[in-house]
Structure 1
Amino acid sequence: MTKLKPWWLAIRPKTLPASISPIILGTALAYQIGFFDGLLFALALCCALLLQIAVNLANDYFDARSGVDTEHRLGPVRVSQSGLVSPEIVKRALIVVSLLAVAAGIALSWLSSWWLLAFGVGAVVAVFIYSGGPWPLASNAMGEITVFFFFGWLAVGGTYFALAGSINMHVLGFGTVAGLLSAAIMLVNNIRDIPTDSVAGKHTLAVILGDHRARMAYRLLLVAAILVHLVVSFPHGLISVIPLVFMAPLFRRLAVDINRLEGKQLNTLLAQTAKLELFYCLLASAVLVVI
């Protein structure tokens, strides 16, 4: 294994589209009403990517330190737990990436609005308390709510605000769809980990609901995302249905697969749900730009 391979595993590149797709959607919403700035867009993308990488490093470090990650883990390899990289080195990388995210956030705030700095500070704090601290959000049924807010309302709404200088319910509606799909990604992750999380004492939403009801909740998130999209897109006419038409087969397959896949098989569903969010944001963005 090359020296860079463990770090490639640590940043978990398959999770990165979930961080940039809401930024693209927020940008498309601003572009639709005549606001676009390439530099602000690039800085928003940098912030999102760096924060996602920081979250992944934080999860790797804190879960290894707390003993949550073991050799029985069903998800992707964690470099701290597996010994590929020492926890102390991962911690240093986490601090460096977080500082880079702060720098990008300050630049974005300076060029757009200092109100964005408050959101940025909240995002950085969330990186560390999501899986660390005395009351980790991820271990106390707050994972889905956290990603809904940060990958939905904050990512879409914050990007729109940075470009257009305002916010409205229409934008938050699209942010709600992105947030619901992000929450679905997190829920699949937690359904897969119910056996190991239960032993480790993590009280995720999936552990609390139980396997059957958690799978029902996943389907409800998909249905809710479809319904919210129809509501917020209604003013745009029939063209707004295009994303759902193209994605209907994927929605249907995921709704079926959640009932039949078990254990490590759920990693496939996790990846497919992430693709669902990416495709939705890209298709919705394309429609918004065209109309």
Structure 2
Amino acid sequence: MAQRGKGPRPTSKRRSGRPGGRPVGRPQKATARDWIGGARLRTLTLGVVPVVLGTAVAYVDGGYDLGIALLCLAVALFLQIGVNYSNDYSDGVRGTDRYRVGPARLTGSGRARPRTVLTVALTFFGLAAVAGVVIVVLTGLWWLLAVGAAAILAAWFYTGGKRPYGYNALGEVFVFVFFGLVAVLGTEFVQIHHVTLNAWAAAVAAGLFACAVLMVNNIRDIDEDRLAGKRTLAVVLGSRAARTLYVLFLVLPYVVLVWFVVLYFRTGYTYFTLLLALPAAIIGATSSRPRELITALQLSSFSALAYGIVLGIALALQP
């Protein structure tokens, strides 16, 4: 007769709030470097570029307001950081990061408590909201509160909630709309109170760059996302089609640039940023190594930043 307490015990299913259950052993506590990494600084260009372009086209189309522009930049950066921490939290508690082979995430690695990561995400969303409210008060455009609320909700439901649209091949739609159209058009509108064709062209370019950065990131994670049941657009299309679309996302802003070159000759200097975009496109289209795809992501991000800065300066220097 077996003694009580001896032998194998039956297992029971428990939700741990961590990907794939509780991590083996005791994970190290997140350091300041881990938290900075969680902000994913290389993606912050997605917030900078539309504000630079929106302010530049506002300047050539009727004037600009530096204070309002800086507040727009704060909204964009705080929102982007909030999205990054929100994704870390949501992917971690869903178990998506269980299959991750890239840099460890705060929640998925167990280095930070899910609630702490969520609190940080909500804090940055709150900071974005405060900066947005200041813009509304200064401009008197109270209806913009609805736009700001929509942006924060869209940021949260990208990977949060019961049915995140980022898990259903709609991530690129989100970044194109909010980090392209809304960000650029909104930046111009709060400064000169109307939207121009220049702003629409710049918004499309910024949105396409944002889609390129997201796509190459998802190409890197395509196998892991497929295993985790995360249906990104890259997973739905497959590797070959996703790579083709990534190249299109990265090259089409230079087609849009023709609009500005025809109107403002000096903006042609922006084509020099192809020196960053073309290597990114080649790597993203041909490489399957995660490290090289990270390089493509970084080059894509820097291409977007260089494009925005050079085009913005060229517009500002028009006679």
* Pairwise same-fold verdict (TM > 0.5): yes
Say whether the 8 Å CA contact 2:179–2:206 is kept in structure 1: yes
Report the counterpart of residue 263 of structure 1 in structure 2: 289
Q: In the alignment, residue 171 of structure 2 is paired with which amino acid?
A: G
SS of the residue corresponding to residue 131 of structure 1 reads coil
Matched, 1:289 2:304: no
Matched, 1:254 2:254: no
Report the counterpart of residue 6 of structure 1 in structure 2: 34
Instruction: Measure the CA separation in 2 of the matches of 1:233 and 1:155.
Output: 22
Q: Which residues of 2 match residues 158-237 of structure 1 at below 5 A?
A: 158-236=186-264
Residue 259 to residue 95, structure 1, CA distance change in 2 (3 Å): closer
1:57-78 per-position Cα deviation (integer Å, ceiling 9, x unaligned): 10000000111112x4134321
SS of the residue corresponding to residue 151 of structure 1 reads helix
Unaligned runs of 5+ in 1: none
Q: In the alignment, residue 212 of structure 2 is paired with which amino acid?
A: A
Question: What is the CA distance between 1:160 and its match in structure 2?
Answer: 0.4
1:109-142 per-position Cα deviation (integer Å, ceiling 9, x unaligned): 1112223222211111012100011221211111
Matched, 1:151 2:191: no
Question: What is the CA distance between 1:13 and its match in structure 2?
Answer: 1.6
Q: When you count helix as a share of all residues, which structure comes out higher?
A: 1
RMSD of equivalent CA atoms: 1.6
Q: Which moved more, 1:156-165 or 1:14-23?
A: 14-23
Report the counterpart of residue 132 of structure 2 in structure 1: 105
Report the counterpart of residue 68 of structure 1 in structure 2: 96
SS of the residue corresponding to residue 269 of structure 1 reads helix
TM-score (norm 2): 0.86
Matched, 1:27 2:55: yes
Q: Which residues of 2 match residues 52-131 of structure 1 at below 5 A?
A: 52-70=80-98, 72-112=99-139, 113-131=141-159
Say whether the 8 Å CA contact 2:107–2:114 is kept in structure 1: yes
Q: Which has the larger radius of gyration?
A: 2
Instruction: Measure the CA separation in 2 of the matches of 1:235 and 1:156.
Output: 19
Q: Which moved more, 1:216-225 or 1:227-236?
A: 227-236
Instruction: Measure the CA separation in 2 of the matches of 1:231 and 1:180.
Output: 15
Say whether the 8 Å CA contact 2:40–2:81 is kept in structure 1: yes
Residue 2 to residue 57, structure 1, CA distance change in 2 (3 Å): closer
Unaligned runs of 5+ in 2: 1-28
Say whether the 8 Å CA contact 2:58–2:191 is kept in structure 1: yes
SS of the residue corresponding to residue 72 of structure 2 reads helix
Q: In the alignment, residue 74 of structure 2 is paired with which amino acid?
A: C
TM-score (norm 1): 0.94
1:95-115 per-position Cα deviation (integer Å, ceiling 9, x unaligned): 222112111111111112223
Report the counterpart of residue 10 of structure 2 in structure 1: none
